[in-house]
Amino acid sequence: MCEPDMPTDAVFEPYVYDPSLLSRAQCMGDACAVCHTKWPRPRRVLGELPDGAHVYGCDECAGIIGLQPVTAGEPLMAAR
Ligand SMILES: [Zn+2]
């Protein structure tokens, strides 16, 4: 009985970004939609634009906005 239950709210619903709030680079997926970092190139899909284009972000920002990396089941608190 130590298997974690799958959270029922884990279904990923893409967040739709307002393109007027993003820079051109962010709309093109060339810059992180959160912190504007262009390098390393953002590779995490953070959401999408109303036209269906993907909006990308770096791993750190994906974590900040609540997108969990694929290490499901791993405790978030790391022992120091
Ligand atoms: Zn970022």
pLDDT in tens, 43-79: 999 999 999 999 999 999 999 888 765 554 555 555 4
Q: Between vectors from CA 64 to CA 62 and to CA 66, what angle results, nearest 5°?
A: 70
Residue percentage of the chain with pLDDT more than 70: 69
> Residue 80 Cα, ligand 1 centroid: separation in angstroms?
25
> Residue 25 Cα, ligand 1 centroid: separation in angstroms?
13
> Residue 52 Cα, ligand 1 centroid: separation in angstroms?
20
Neighbouring C-alpha atoms within 13 Å toward the C-beta of 49: 16
Sign of the CA dihedral 39, 43, 44, 50? Answer: positive
pTM above 0.85, yes or no: no
